[in-house]
Structures are given as C-alpha cells and as structure tokens.
C-alpha cells in the first residue's frame, strides 16, 4: 500500500545556500574529471573515455530524491549522479579509467569495464546479500545501447511484488515496496527497440520506474531529425500519458540547465512513483555534450558554429553559475575560487589513482628484471637476453603485458640451458600467471557456497506401483511444490498464467498462487528476460518463460551482454540467479525446431545451459537451481510433455546434478553421446544395433554448460575406444563443442582406435512436417548406419558394408 508522505522541515536560506554550493562543487568536480579524463586518454594512459560532461545539473536533482533501497539502471553518462550519492570518488573515477584490477581501487568493475560504467556492491565478501534497503544501489552498467532498459523493468517490478505478495522475507530487499527504479538513456538510444518494448511493458505493469532521457539532440554525430519522429521523443510518446480513463505514464519535460525546475520535477516524479507505483518519463531537453560523444572523435566535425555557441551559453554548469549569482548564493569571485580549488583536487586525485595503479606493476617489473638479469649472466645467449632486459627497463610506465611478455621471450634463449636461475625464472612466470590471470578472468560464475558445484544429487523415489502419467504433470506438481516452498519464487511468460502454459505445465497454478506469481506476459521476449534479471538482482527467484527456444533469439542480446556477464563484470559483487525456462528440440518446422544450441552456448558463457531428456530430469534441475545462486537456461523437450513417466513420490525434493552426465545404457563397442529429445532415438537405435552385434554405450550429457565436470565420458571412451557425438544442431554447432570438450579437455584422443565422429542435422533449419524432420535431422536409420560404418571400418569382415 502507498506510504505516508513524510514532512520535510523547511530549510533556512543558509542551509539551502550550503546545499546549492555543495551541488555546484559536485558538478564542477565531475566536469573537471571529464576534461582531465579525456586528456589521459589522449596521452595514452587510458585506452578510451566516455564521460558525463553536460549532464551534471539534472543528475544533481535526481540524486536528491534517490533513496536508500532505490536502484539505478543507467548508461555511461551518469558519473555526476554516482558522485552525488557518495558512490564515486575522484580517485575511483580515474582508477576505472586506468583499468585498475583492484576491486578496492575500482569498486565499479575492478578494471573489467571501461570508465563510465557504474555499479554498487550488492554482495558481501562471501557472495551473500547485503542489506540493500540500507544503501543506494546501482545495477552494473553495460555498453550496448538501450541494453539497460529491460533490466530496469525488473528492478521496478520487484517493488510491486514486495508490496503485494505476502510471505516473502523482505528484510534485506524492500521496505513495503517503496523503492523506485531509476533509469537513464540518451535521446538517440530511444530509437532502439528495447526502449519501446520496455516503455510499453512498464506502462502495462504499472511499476515504480522513472526513466530520464538525456536529450542533447545528437547520437554521436547523427542529429535527432534522423533518430526520432518529430525530433521529440516525449511528443511522440504522448499516447502513453495516463488520464482519468486509463493507466499509463506521467510524462514530464524540463530544461537540463534549469536547476530549480529540475529539482521540482524530480521531487514530483519520485513522489508519485514511490507512493502510487506510477511509471514516470522525464524528458530532459536542451542538454549539451561539451567534449562530444567520446575520445574517439571531436564534435566540432559535425556541429555547426551556431550550435557550438549555443552549447557554450547553455552549458548546464554555466547556467547554474548565473542562477547562483543572480540569487545571491555566491559571487563570481567565490565561484572562481571554488573552481580553482576543485581543479587542483581533481589533479591530485588523478595522480593518486595513477600512482596506485602503477605501483604493483613497477614492483613486478623489478622482479622480472632481476630474474632475467640473473639468468642472462649464466647463459651463452646473454647478448640477446640483455636486449630484452634493456627494452623492458626503458619502459617507465609498463603494463603487465610488457612485463610478462619479456620474461616469456627470455625462455626462448634458454632452451638448451640447465641452471638454477632458469628454473627460478620459469617458476616465477608460472606463479605470476597463476596470480595475475584471475584479475582478468575470475568470477564468471558464483564463488559462494551456493554455487551449483556445491549442490548434490537427490534421486527421485517412487512408490511400488507408481502411476505412469503425462510428463507435464510431473512438472506441474513440481512447480506447485516450488511455489509453496519458496514464497519469493514466481514465473511469467507468454501464456504462462491463465491457461497454465501452452503445454499445461503450470495448469491451475495461477488460480492457486495469484496473478503476480504465475503471470501472463506480452509477446516481448527481451523484457521478459529483463523482468527476470531485475527481480533476481533484488532477491526474488524469478523463472522467466520464453515459449520456444527459437524465440530466445529475441532475448539473446540481453542474456549475453547483461545476465551472462553480471558476476564477471562486477567481480562477484552482484548476482542475478534467474532461471530461464523454455522448450525445444525435434518440433517440425523452421522456427519451432529449437536446436540452435551451438550459437547459444558460445554467446552466454556465464549462464548454465541444461538440456534434460525428460520432465523428471527437468523438474530436478529447477529444484537444484533454487538452492543455488547462479543463472541458468533450462530447455524442456518439446515433444515430451505427453509421453508417460512415473510420478515420483518426493516431488519438489529430488535434484538433478548440474555438470554431471548419465550413462543410460552401458556398452563395450562405441560411446554414443547426446542430449535432449535425440536421446530417445539413440536409445531405440542402440537396441537395434544389438541385433547386428554392436553393443553401444549411450551417455546423456544433461548439462552443456558446465560440461561433464567429473570427466566420465573419457572413462567410457577408454573402455569402448570409439566415440560418436550425435545432436540435432547444425554441423559445427553443439556437437563440435562437445567433441572439443571430450578430446581436448578430457584428452580422450589417446584412447581412440577409430576417428571420432559427429552426426548432426543438415546446415539449414528443419523443413516442416514429419518428413521434413526425417530428412533434416538425424534419424534412427542415420544413427544406425553411421555407427555401423565406424564398425565396418574397424572390422569389414564382421560388418560388411550396408550400402
């Protein structure tokens, strides 16, 4: 229910003056960081710069109403806001620019993202949730244009869930759903489909979301006339304005250089979003971008002299200065003095950040030089090694690349040497890589005690006369147990609510658990994913349903750029344990075949990809994941819902292990590896192969990411000495990935007596109909003949050629 408005004591003029002066100092500090940051890029100390200059004043107004528990989902212009809420210092700003790999120095990403990408820490040192209601929160930024929008929707929806769903432990996550999710986007980026999809969805859902559109009339060099109909995003979105007859948005428009109007506008937006859960759009116009889009080019190339003159006059800080002087908050001389002091402070912060970044690398350089010098003195190739030493020593501000490269190149001149100094250098290089590599590669997955690798299997159990039922009923009953056991769990998607999903796996559950927990969603896959990401980032356990695997391509960018990278790009300081539910495999037709896994598994590293062969296995995966804190994609077999399976008596409790294969048939002649619906065809074919004396071992992968953590497949190959990977993806797709894992990761090549084979679908999407499936994907006869051919090559006498 809406909160009561708290009365704020009236400020005295002196208090207000101090507040305005403090705001001005933050704005000038941010501007000086932008100006000096650009110079650092141009001098080569930083690789790339994209800054928030020109957007300072509206972000000050925004920061005033941003409360503890609120979340930001923005883009790379929001540095002033982060400074205003106390989450970004000068030194941290430059540490991010230099890519400092310390999470203490660069708390935004430990150097993993370019500067201008901001986030706060939702997790403690053990990967457990902090109390998000007691801090100001920013979800970790991504660069792809408008990619922050779907996540914003979910962050806002979490407040609606927390306010209206009873029984959830909200202690660390919400105070009666009073939190607002604040988004920012550039005016040009509103041309993206993700923007329109999110705006529509938030209007339908009526969630407390405030989106600020920073409008400086350009998208890099492209003017708004080429971006937006009528050159005005708020004008063309007027149809979303709420009225007496229908819900919608409150749409506000304000000049970005008008400090007092901005403060008033943001106070109003905060009030109605926070209390009434009404989404708000603030179109902040007449903004500037003094340094152009980024350090990759100058805006003088594409802006007219008239425009540049206007930008100088209506720069938001310049206008704030004039307003302050005219209202007796400060004199021009006083503001000039503040400017000088802040310039000095920013220079000092920049210097401190650079020295902190460089210090450990200089120490590593010194270590390498000492070891290289020692080994040079023992080598006949001293003259060549000394050249490498001199080149490295001449680098006054080295990077780790130069240090390690020099040390490794030195080993090339020591191949025939045998000395203690060589061994010491070798050990140092090995140790250095082991120590430094994680600074750039760690935390792709959770490292907490809730990581999936810590989960253990619980097998389904059955009564003596367990009933054979449609497999969908196992899923339905298991989801019933999940929603009963986990008040924070919810599911949503196309047809997921009222009709209980297209295959009736959620039959009757909306009526039992309500429309907020078992919900229908529009045909908008990207924002279905975004709902899940945002809600998972706020402590809920969402299951986002994409009706068919083929349709996940609409959401693949969000999965790849946002969800899959979240743990990595925050170095374990944020998480979103979202479960993505979909169905695929062996349906007949180009856009419902559900087999494009080769592309998916290579684009969403950081998300587990699970491919259960039946619904009992699928239900077990849901149970496992809800005890863990990592995101996953579960692909149910589309043609398996009406097949019969035994009903377990421990519904909701059994767990399918992740990253563990299962041998579904033992054999001695050849190892057949597959997953999903194709497994059923292989199992039947394996019986037929017995008729001609071929005893195949059949292994169900179950989990593509992670893959066979126990290396059980290589044990099978060591026994059979032959291997075939079979799947319904295109050639070079998932089967190539599986083969690489078996041969190169598990080193199974050493046990092979025959060439390892893959049997896949044709290179095209499957044709429609049963015959289309037969001629497009591996059939039982294809599998039989391919296996037989392997045995024929091994022993043509016992296995004469079939055709």
CA 402 – CA 29 distance, rounded (Å): 34
Inter-residue contact 6 to 24 (CB < 8 Å): no
In three-state secondary structure terms, 29 is: helix
Residue 725 is inside which H or E element, if any? strand 723-726
Structure tokens at 774: 């037969």
Burial of 454 (0-12, 13-18, 19+ CB in 10 A): exposed
Report the length, in residues, of the chain.
803
In three-state secondary structure terms, 531 is: helix
CA 447 – CA 435 distance, rounded (Å): 17
Instruction: Name the residue among 720, 536, 734 with its Cα closest to residue 629.
Output: 536
- Provide CB contacts within 8 A for 104, sequence distance 6+: none
* φ, ψ of residue 720 in degrees (nearest 5): -95, -25
CA 603 – CA 552 distance, rounded (Å): 12
* φ, ψ of residue 504 in degrees (nearest 5): 65, 25
Q: From start to end of 568-715, where are the E strands?
A: 579-584, 608-610, 632-637, 644-646, 662-665, 670-674, 696-700, 703-705
Query: 10 Å Cβ neighbour count for 680?
Result: 19
Inter-residue contact 682 to 783 (CB < 8 Å): yes
CA 252 – CA 261 distance, rounded (Å): 11
Annotated catalytic residue 299: no
Instruction: Name the residue among 450, 452, 540 with its Cα closest to residue 491.
Output: 540
Beta bridge partners of 518: 491
Q: Interior CA angle at 786 toward 785 and 792, to 5°?
A: 80
CA 571 – CA 482 distance, rounded (Å): 30
- Helix 13-42 crosses helix 56-65 at what angle (to 10 degrees)? 130
CA 196 – CA 394 distance, rounded (Å): 54
Structure tokens at 42: 């141009």
Structure tokens at 117: 């990408």
> Which CA distances in Å does 296 have to 41, 43, 146?
10, 13, 20
Q: From start to end of 507-570, where are the E strands?
A: 518-520, 541-545
* Per annotation, catalytic residue among 121, 277, 585, 592: 592
Enumerate the active-site residues: 592
């Amino acid at each position: 229910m809406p909160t009561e408005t708290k009365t704020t004591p009236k400020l005295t003029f002196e208090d207000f003056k101090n507040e305005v002066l403090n705001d001005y100092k933050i704005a000038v500090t941010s501007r000086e960081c932008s100006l000096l940051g650009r110079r650092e890029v141009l001098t080569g100390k930083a690789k790339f710069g994209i800054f928030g200059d020109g957007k300072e004043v509206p972000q000050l107004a925004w920061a005033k109403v941003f409360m503890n528990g609120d979340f930001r989902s923005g883009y790379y212009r929001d540095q002033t806001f982060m400074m205003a809420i106390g989450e970004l210092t000068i030194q941290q700003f430059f540490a991010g620019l230099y890519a400092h790999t310390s999470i203490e120095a660069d708390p935004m990403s430990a150097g993993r993202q370019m500067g201008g990408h901001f986030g706060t820490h939702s997790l403690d040192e053990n990967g457990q949730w902090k109390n998000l209601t007691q801090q100001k929160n920013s979800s970790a930024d991504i660069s792809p244009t408008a990619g922050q929008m779907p996540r914003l929707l979910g962050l806002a929806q979490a407040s609606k869930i927390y306010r209206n769903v009873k029984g959830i432990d909200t202690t660390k996550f919400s105070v009666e759903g009073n939190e607002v999710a604040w988004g920012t986007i550039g005016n040009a980026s509103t041309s993206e489909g993700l923007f329109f999809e999110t705006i529509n969805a938030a209007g339908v859902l009526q969630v407390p979301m405030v989106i600020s559109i920073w409008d400086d009339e350009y998208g890099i060099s492209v003017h708004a006339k080429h971006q937006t109909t009528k050159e005005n995003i708020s004008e063309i979105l007027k149809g979303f304005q709420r009225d007496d007859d229908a819900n919608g948005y409150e749409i506000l428009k304000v000049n970005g250089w008008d400090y007092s109007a901005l403060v008033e506008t943001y106070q109003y937006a905060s009030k109605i979003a926070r209390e009434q859960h009404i989404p708000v759009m603030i179109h902040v116009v007449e903004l500037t971008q003094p340094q152009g889009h980024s350090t990759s080019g100058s805006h003088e190339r594409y802006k007219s002299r008239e425009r540049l003159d206007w930008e100088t006059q209506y720069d938001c800080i310049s206008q704030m200065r004039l307003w302050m002087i005219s209202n007796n908050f400060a004199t021009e001389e006083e503001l000039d003095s503040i400017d000088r002091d802040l310039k000095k402070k920013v220079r000092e912060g920049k210097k401190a950040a650079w020295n902190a970044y460089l210090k450990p690398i200089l120490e590593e350089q010194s270590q390498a030089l000492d070891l290289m010098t020692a080994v040079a003195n023992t080598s006949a190739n001293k003259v060549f090694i000394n050249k490498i030493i001199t080149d490295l020593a001449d680098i006054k501000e080295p990077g780790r690349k130069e240090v390690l490269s020099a040390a490794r190149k030195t080993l090339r001149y020591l191949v025939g040497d045998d000395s203690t100094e060589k061994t010491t250098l070798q050990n140092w290089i090995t140790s250095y890589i082991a120590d430094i590599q994680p600074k750039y590669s760690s935390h792709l997955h959770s490292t907490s005690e809730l990581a999936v690798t810590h989960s253990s299997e619980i097998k389904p159990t059955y009564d003596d006369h367990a009933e054979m039922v449609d497999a969908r009923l196992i899923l339905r009953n298991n989801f019933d147990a999940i929603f009963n056991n986990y008040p924070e769990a919810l599911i949503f998607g196309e047809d997921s609510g009222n009709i209980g999903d297209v295959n009736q796996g959620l039959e009757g559950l909306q009526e039992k658990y309500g429309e907020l927990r078992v919900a229908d969603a529009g045909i908008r896959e990207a924002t279905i994913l975004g709902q899940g990401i945002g809600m998972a980032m706020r402590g809920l356990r969402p299951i986002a349903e994409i009706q068919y695997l083929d349709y996940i391509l609409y959401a693949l960018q969000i999965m790849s750029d946002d969800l899959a990278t979240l743990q990595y790009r925050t170095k374990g300081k944020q998480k979103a344990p979202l479960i993505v539910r979909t169905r695929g495999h062996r349906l007949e037709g180009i856009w419902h075949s559900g087999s494009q896994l080769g592309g998916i598994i290579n684009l969403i590293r950081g998300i587990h990809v699970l491919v259960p062969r039946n619904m009992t296995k699928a239900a077990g995966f849901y149970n496992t994941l809800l005890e863990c804190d990592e995101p996953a994609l579960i692909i149910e077999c589309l043609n398996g819902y009406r097949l019969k399976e035994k009903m377990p008596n421990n519904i909701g409790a059994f767990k399918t292990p992740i990253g563990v294969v299962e041998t579904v048939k033992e054999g001695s002649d050849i190892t057949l590896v597959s997953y999903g619906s194709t497994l059923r065809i292989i199992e039947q074919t394996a019986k037929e192969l017995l008729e001609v004396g071929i005893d195949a071992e059949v292994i169900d992968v179950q989990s593509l990411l992670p893959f066979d953590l126990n290396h059980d497949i290589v044990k099978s190959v060591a026994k059979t000495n032959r291997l075939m990977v079979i799947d319904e993806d295109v050639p070079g797709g998932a089967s190539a990935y599986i083969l690489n894992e078996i041969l190169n990761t598990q080193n199974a090549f050493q046990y092979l007596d025959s060439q390892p084979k893959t049997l896949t679908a044709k290179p095209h999407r499957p044709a429609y109909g049963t015959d289309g499936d037969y001629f497009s994907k591996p059939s039982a006869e294809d599998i039989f003949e391919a296996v037989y051919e392997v045995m024929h090559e091994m022993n043509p006498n016992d296995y004469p050629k079939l055709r």
